[in-house]
Amino acid sequence: MKQLDQQHAQANRAARSSLAEAFLAMQTADECRALLKDLTTPAELEALVDRWRVVKYLDQGMPYREIHERTGVSVTTVGRVARFLENGNGGYRLALERIKNPD
């Protein structure tokens, strides 16, 4: 991650908030997919998709090695996703819960 002076760090925080608002402004899954495709390279989008697939398998209690065999994602990455699922910022868990209980 690049080192930023205070002014640039503050601008980045504001841009992160603006990006989150852009995602919230999307009204359908197709709109969100379009935004993701515009924001990311194909490799970056594939990495995000891989992580989300891993999250769903981890939530089902699937062993790391089996997740690796099903997805091709490295066991190291599976472990990293698992750490964030359990001790991250809560985003994975919240998204899972909202998908399971969309009310």
Tell me the C-alpha distance between 95 and 101, whole Å: 10
Q: How do the domains of the chain map onto residue ranges? A: 40-100
Q: Is residue 98's pLDDT more than 70?
A: yes
What CATH fold (topology level) applies to the domain 40-100? Trp Operon Repressor; Chain A (1.10.1270)
Taking the CB of residue 74, how many other CB atoms lie within 10 A of it? 12
Q: Is residue 2's pLDDT more than 70?
A: no
DSSP letter at 60 equals T
Under the banding of pLDDT at 50, 70 and 90, the label for residue 8 is: confident
Residues 38-70 pLDDT 10s: 999 999 999 999 999 999 999 999 999 999 999
Q: Give the residue-averaged pLDDT of 73-96.
A: 96
More confident residue, 100 or 31: 31
Q: Give the residue-averaged pLDDT of 75-94.
A: 96
